[in-house]
Amino acid sequence: MSVSGEKAQGKKYKIAWLPGDGIGKEVMEAARIVLDKLKFNAEYIHGDIGWEFWCKEGESFPQRTIDLLKSVDASMFGAITSKPVKAAEAELVPELKGKGLVYRSPIVRMRQLFDLWTCLRPCKAYPGNPINYKEGIDLVVFRENTEDLYAGVEFSPVPQEVKDVLLKNAKGFAAFKDVPLDQYAITCKINTRKGSERIIRAAFEYAKKHGYPKVTIIHKANVVRATEGLFLDIGKEVAKDFPGIQMDDANIDAICMWLLKNPKNYSVLVATNMFGDIVSDLCAQMVGGLGFGCSGNIGDKLAVFEPTHGSAPKYAGQYKTNPIATILAAKMMLDWLGEKEMGARVENAVATVIKEGKVRTYDMGGSNTTLEMAEAIAAKL
């Protein structure tokens, strides 16, 4: 399925509902208030995920949740707590003692297991939001979601065979020839032609479908020649298939500066995994920060929609944080399922509540709760 799908008439959707940890539970409760008021025809099936389950059963993404995701039309995910726990530390958790476990992020696993290759992050400055950086910003980030430095191909310590191969084949490696094996670490940046082409093509198709004038290819091709050079070359090739869309390119460092200076000069941005991760946080901050950053992890068969923020442990249990990011993620899910009319109603309701300025969570300078914000949005549907 493409980034925005076609509506299935009168269908009752099966939606995997994964609240996760901390405020994930609270913002998902808020999103349900909006979806229920909308009378979105769905069966929501709860899925266990996150830190809580790693502590209980040594698995943050249990097989039953993986099976659930295989059986649904789409999924909504709140947030999880993720800690880089090594085997030695797991020994200190009574339930995990003796199991030799290492914590793995369920999100990264989910993206790879289900080949959710598009990370789509729209960043729009809704008029009247007191924490907009500037009015009129409308940026859409396409981030490759499965490859690059996040492929998980790492060495620490470095095996002698790897060092030998690099010394023999990679010119730049000579500088590290005298470093002892346990004194350095290697993370491989892997980018494929297929992975690069499909994300760049998706960005152009989105621009064409939604009337955006330009796609900017973000890269660092001048220094990271093999991988980032490949990405830029493919960008130039794909652009030829979209004569109606302007294409330009920029280095990752320069674009961070230009986006802050002239955000309205840009519309759709596309990047490899890590640069896309960085630039999408920058874009989210320009339109109000984590309370507004929504995200879709989209593959050919499954899509998982989420706020970009984490479980914010310091606010957990207080119903204080902003549910708009999650409500906008629900809007993205509706669009992807082809329920465009419902998606538009959600977005209009969010925009109206922001513009009126009567209900605001703490990040917007107000004191309303997570659920009061959701109720205010539901009332405008």
> In the complex, which residues of this chain contact Mg ion (CB under 5 A)?
277
| 269, 188 Cβ separation under 8 angstroms | no
State both tokens at 163.
Answer: 């060092």
Any contact of residue 304 with ligand NAI (CB under 6 A)?
no
CA distances for 65 relative to 47, 69, 337, 358, angstroms: 5, 6, 21, 39
User: What is residue 302's DSSP assignment?
Assistant: -
Any contact of residue 81 with ligand NAI (CB under 6 A)?
yes
Which of 52, 363, 372, 375 forms a contact with ligand NAI (CB under 6 A)?
363
Q: Closest distance between ligand NAI and the C-beta of residue 310, in Å?
A: 2
Sign of CA dihedral 312, 326, 337, 266: negative
Any contact of residue 80 with ligand NAI (CB under 6 A)?
yes
Question: Closest CB to Mg ion among 276 and 299?
Answer: 276
| 91, 81 Cβ separation under 8 angstroms | no
CA distances for 264 relative to 242, 267, 339, angstroms: 22, 7, 29
- Residue 272 CA to residue 283 CA, distance in Å, equals 16
Question: Closest CB to Mg ion among 306 and 335?
Answer: 306
Any contact of residue 327 with ligand NAI (CB under 6 A)?
no
Q: Which does 322 bind (CB under 5 to 8 A by kind): Mg ion, ligand NAI, none?
A: ligand NAI
Any contact of residue 321 with ligand NAI (CB under 6 A)?
yes
Q: Which does 107 bind (CB under 5 to 8 A by kind): Mg ion, ligand NAI, none?
A: ligand NAI
Any contact of residue 314 with ligand NAI (CB under 6 A)?
yes
CB atoms within 10 A of CB 376: 20
Question: Closest CB to ligand NAI among 23 and 217?
Answer: 23
Residues 6 or more apart whose CB falls under 8 angstroms from that of 181 comprise 157, 158, 159, 160, 163
Any contact of residue 309 with ligand NAI (CB under 6 A)?
yes
Question: Closest CB to ligand NAI among 64 and 83?
Answer: 83
For 121, the 3-state DSSP assignment is strand
The 19-38 site mask, x for binding ligand NAI (CB under 6 A), equals --------x-----------
Any contact of residue 288 with ligand NAI (CB under 6 A)?
no
Any contact of residue 291 with ligand NAI (CB under 6 A)?
yes
User: What is residue 373's DSSP assignment?
Assistant: H
Q: Closest distance between Mg ion and the C-beta of residue 277, in Å?
A: 5
CB atoms within 10 A of CB 257: 11
Interface with ligand NAI (CB under 6 A): 27, 79-83, 107, 290-291, 309-314, 321-322, 325, 363
